[in-house]
Amino acid sequence: MSAVETQHVARDLMDQLPVLQVAIPLIAAPLIVFIGNRKLAWAIAFAASAAAFVIACTLLWQVIDGSVISYHIGGWAPPLGIEYRIDALSAMILMLISGIGTIVLPYAYASVAAEIPKKQHTLFYALFMLCLTGLLGMVATGDAFNIFVFLEISSLSTYVLVAMGAHKDPRALTAAYDYLIMGTIGATFFVIGLGMLYMATGTLNLADLAERIADQGINRTVRAGFAFVVVGMGLKVAMYPLHHWLPNAYTFAPSAVTTFLAATATKAAIYVMLRFLFSVFSPGFHFEDWTLYLIFIPFSLLAMFAASFVAVFQTNLKRMLAFSSIAQIGYMLLGIAMLNATGLSAAVVHMVNHGISKAALFMGVGAMVMYSGSAFFDDLKGLGRKMPITGAVMVAGGLSLIGVPGTAGFISKWMLVQAAFENGWWIIAIAIMLSSLLAVIYVWRMFEVLYLTAPSDDCTATDPPLPMLVPMLILAGACIWFGFDTELTLGSARVAAEGLLAGSAGMMH
Amino acid sequence: MMHHHLILRVVTKMLVGTIILFAFYVQFHGDFSPGGGFQAGVIMAVAFILYGIVFGLNKAEEVFPPWLVHKLAAFGVLVYAGTGVVSLLLGYNFLDYNAFNPGHPSHGQHWGIFAVELGVGITVTGVMVAIYYAFAGRPPPINDEDW
């Protein structure tokens, strides 16, 4: 071994990017606790997530041509060592997560000050960094057990972040507890699945798993492992019948946390699902095909209609948007189940587009809640008129949620409909359009409350301070921008989808 | 109160030092005998928890104040991650311990593990004691009005 090591070539910054992506927020979290200063805490958190965003952009730029970066932690080569593996798909999701983190933090500064007691602020930013670390790690790593570890890092910090809403509404505690139980069941299922795959193959590296499963063929252990992994991740994704934790967690969490989670947490879980469905296993594994056709498609359709339908009747705006998230996750899973390049690109691009739109909407609600005290429609009456910029941001986000042409949401739904036509699934294409009509109804309800009802006479609400407005405007701008310029989103989504469909071959060394 | 449990108090005073010494043994001898950072951290925390159980939470918090506990928990992670950063600055991969002694990589590995395990030990001590403080110092149940 020493003979090899003496010829070591020093690695430069560019070589280290995959690990820095995760390590920078990871170091920021204990640093914030160690320094223990409220003002510095925010500055460190912002610097770390901005650095993570720059790294993610650089990584995407490096792998956009379809290449793959493999980084060996501790210098131990895979499959024995832990490998970080960046391709177009992971770089894109890394960019989404770190980008949303960076945009949410300036907003969080004012929002957290209003919603969380002062002495918890330092810990809030430390937890936020841990959550960011976990989500980025899940996406960056190429090691199955490492995914579990990062999943737990992000989940545990998320539970506490949700519970921090208890200062405003004690129901945040039960919401966090629900999420804790459901999330733990999900993580347990996931790790049981990994255990079975490990038992059958003797490896935990995703690429190596794919090779060995392909070599030895499918047996009952592998099938059971697959099922456990899909159900476990399904819980984290909030796949339709497993979505129970989501509405309360999103409703009662502090606004900044809701914004961040809605845009990133489920997306990271969908990423892991994609990795297992396409990189570890591959379509053609009949059990997987049947899972996609008989479970993903019916439940996605059910999510699109049932969750949208429930959203229409909500009286709390945050809750309405939470149910809409469940419906939108249905679109993503439907795109995956189409099993063609267009459907997969639609799913991937919808992860980004929906993340941006939902973040804009939740930020808008958060800004209004700062003045009204609650997200119930009755308390938000006419606030769109009193807070014109916030209202405009929410309209942009709402239009993108429906999928009106000229917004980001249109691009992903259009791709999805095209994918359905490619498969000749006319009924599903029609279902996608019909369910969008339900979105029109609930977005219209929001619009009606914000603009068409008169504000109370003593309402003193105005647009929030600049640090909250700018992130909202950036996101609303992105909703529109990505509706016209699809080079970045759709372009990388196509590369990502091709990489996925190349199957486990895309993961070979 | 102070006059009760005389034997317990005397024995605890004698044991605490021994437990801490044993924790250091497990920590620094971990590479030749069973043990390592996690076990050492737990044993170290046990010394403080035993002290807290016998002499009361207030006494324990005088010896090992909660703010220090939290800082230590964070500091351990920094030691661990810092080891990775140093190896990175030396031009090696994150946590590639060969960086610490390129001429003799197995020594480098030894030192790297040593530093990392120290970080683990510090964090585990901090976290275990923090958990004990959190449970022992639990505020009374929430009032009905708070709901």
Summarize pLDDT for A287-344 with one digit per residue, the tens.
778 888 889 999 999 999 999 999 999 999 999 999 999 999 999 999 999 888 999 9
What count of residues does chain A have? 509
Minimal C-alpha gap between B94 and chain A (Å): 5
A499: exposed, middle or buried (Cβ count in 10 Å: 0-12, 13-18, 19+): buried
From B67, B71, B93, residue closest to A11, measured CB to CB: B93
pLDDT value at position A10? 79
pLDDT band at A1 (very low <50, low <70, confident <90, very high): very low
Is pLDDT above 50 for A265?
yes
Contact A5 B102 (CB under 8 A): yes
Is pLDDT above 70 for A97?
yes
* Angstrom distances, CA of residue A471 to CA of A40, A129, A252: 20, 18, 22
Question: Domain locations in chain A?
Answer: 11-507
Query: Is B126 within 8 Å of B70 (Cβ atoms)?
Result: yes
Q: In angstroms, rounded to a whole number, what is the distance separating the alpha carbons of residues B46 and B58?
A: 16
For residue A76, what is the nearest residue in chain B, using CA coordinates?
B96
For residue A74, what is the nearest residue in chain B, using CA coordinates?
B96
Minimal C-alpha gap between A178 and chain B (Å): 18
Q: Which residues in chain B belong to E strands, given as ranges?
A: none
| A81 interaction partners in chain B (CB closer than 8 Å) | none
Contact A19 B102 (CB under 8 A): no
* Angstrom distances, CA of residue A192 to CA of A144, A148, A156, A178, A197: 12, 11, 19, 21, 9
Query: Is A104 within 8 Å of A471 (Cβ atoms)?
Result: yes
pLDDT band at A435 (very low <50, low <70, confident <90, very high): very high
The reply to whether omega before B105 is within 30° of 0 (cis) is no
Contact A5 B98 (CB under 8 A): yes
* Angstrom distances, CA of residue A47 to CA of A19, A29, A182: 17, 12, 33
| Residue labelled with tokens 């990423």 | A271
Residue A211: strand pairing partners: none
Collapsing DSSP to helix, strand or coil, B143 comes out as coil
Across A213-233, average pLDDT: 90
pLDDT band at A506 (very low <50, low <70, confident <90, very high): very low
Collapsing DSSP to helix, strand or coil, A238 comes out as coil
pLDDT value at position A339? 87
Is pLDDT above 90 for A370?
no
Contact B71 A33 (CB under 8 A): yes
More confident residue, A134 or A66: A134
What count of residues does chain B have? 147
Task: Count the helix, strand and coil residues of chain B and give each as a percent rounded to the nearest 5.
Answer: 75, 0, 25
Is pLDDT above 90 for A394?
yes
Query: Is B81 within 8 Å of B88 (Cβ atoms)?
Result: no
| A36 interaction partners in chain B (CB closer than 8 Å) | 67, 70-71
pLDDT averaged over chain A?
90
For Cα atoms A149, A152, A155, give the angle at the middle one, nearest 5 degrees.
Answer: 150
- Chain A interface test: which of B89, B96, B146 (most A C-beta within 10 Å): B96
Half-sphere CA count of A264, side-chain side, radius 13 A: 34
Q: Which of residues 15-34 of A touch B (CB under 8 A)?
A: 16, 19-20, 23, 26-27, 29-34
Is pLDDT above 80 for A431?
yes
B1: exposed, middle or buried (Cβ count in 10 Å: 0-12, 13-18, 19+): exposed
Minimal C-alpha gap between B47 and chain A (Å): 24
Q: Could you report the per-residue pLDDT of A401-418, keeping only the tens digit for each? A: 999 999 999 999 999 999
A1 touches chain B (CB under 8 A): yes
Contact A2 B106 (CB under 8 A): yes
pLDDT band at A373 (very low <50, low <70, confident <90, very high): confident
| Residue labelled with tokens 């895979």 | A78
The CA-based diameter of chain B, rounded to the nearest angstrom, is 68
Give pTM, 2 decimals. Answer: 0.93
A125 touches chain B (CB under 8 A): no
pLDDT value at position A15? 86
Across A19-26, average pLDDT: 94
Q: In angstroms, rounded to a whole number, what is the distance separating the alpha carbons of residues A304 and A312?
A: 12
Q: Could you report the per-residue pLDDT of B44-63, keeping only the tens digit for each? A: 999 999 999 999 888 999 99
pLDDT value at position A385? 87
Flag residues of chain B having pLDDT under 70. 1-3, 140-147
For residue B145, what is the nearest residue in chain A, using CA coordinates?
A170
From A31, A33, A170, residue closest to B147, measured CB to CB: A170
Per-residue tokens: A484: 């016209």
Is pLDDT above 60 for A4?
no
| Alpha carbon B129 to its chain's center | 8
**What are the residues of chain B with a beta carbon less than 8 Å away from any beta carbon of chain A?**
67, 70-71, 73-78, 81-82, 84-85, 88, 90-98, 102-106, 142, 146-147
Is pLDDT above 70 for A509?
no
More confident residue, A39 or A125: A125
Is pLDDT above 50 for A507?
no
Q: At what angle do helices A466-484 and A388-402 cross, to 10 degrees?
A: 30
